[in-house]
C-alpha cells in the first residue's frame, strides 16, 4: 500500500488544478494537460514549458496578478491564481518596414 501525497488547489483562468508540494507552476499546468499558456506577440504561436530551468523565458505567466513570472521556477501554492498572457495585439500596418524617411 502506498501513501497518498497531499494535494492542494490552484486555478488557471478560473479552472481548478490539483498540485502536489514541490511542483512548479509549470509542472502543475502540464500535469493538468495544459501545454501552452501564452502566445508570442508576432505570430501568436503557443508557448509553455520549453527549457524547464529558467533560461528561455518561454513559460512566462501571471501569478496572483504579478506578470512575467517564469512558471518553471515558481513553486505552486495553495490558492494561487494563474492567468496566461492576453492574445497578442495586431501589429500596426508598416510596423516591420523600418523607417524609410
Site residues for ligand FES per CB under 6 A:
49-52, 54-59, 70, 72
Q: Which residue's C-alpha cell is 524547464?
A: 52
Question: What are the start-end ranges of the E strands in the chain?
Answer: 8-12, 15-19, 36-39, 46-48, 60-63, 66-70, 81-83
**CA distance readout (Å), 55 to 33, 41, 44:** 23, 19, 21
CB of residue 16 to ligand FES, shortest distance in Å = 23
Residue placing its CB nearer to ligand FES in the complex, 51 or 81: 51
CB of residue 90 to ligand FES, shortest distance in Å = 27
CB of residue 93 to ligand FES, shortest distance in Å = 33
Residue placing its CB nearer to ligand FES in the complex, 52 or 88: 52
Residue placing its CB nearer to ligand FES in the complex, 17 or 71: 71
CB of residue 96 to ligand FES, shortest distance in Å = 26
Residue placing its CB nearer to ligand FES in the complex, 54 or 91: 54
Quickly list H helices, the chain: 25-31
Q: Identify which of 23, 58, 54 has the alpha carbon closest to the alpha carbon of residue 38.
A: 58
Amino acid at each position: 500500500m502506498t501513501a497518498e501525497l497531499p494535494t492542494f488547489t490552484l486555478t488557471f483562468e478560473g479552472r481548478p488544478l490539483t498540485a502536489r508540494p514541490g511542483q512548479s507552476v509549470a509542472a502543475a499546468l502540464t500535469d493538468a494537460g495544459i501545454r501552452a499558456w501564452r502566445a508570442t506577440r508576432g505570430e501568436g504561436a503557443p508557448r509553455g514549458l520549453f527549457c524547464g530551468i529558467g533560461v528561455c523565458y518561454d513559460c512566462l505567466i501571471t501569478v496572483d496578478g504579478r506578470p512575467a513570472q517564469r512558471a518553471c521556477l515558481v513553486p505552486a501554492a495553495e490558492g494561487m491564481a494563474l492567468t496566461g498572457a492576453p492574445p497578442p495585439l495586431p501589429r500596426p500596418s508598416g510596423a516591420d518596414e523600418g523607417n524609410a524617411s
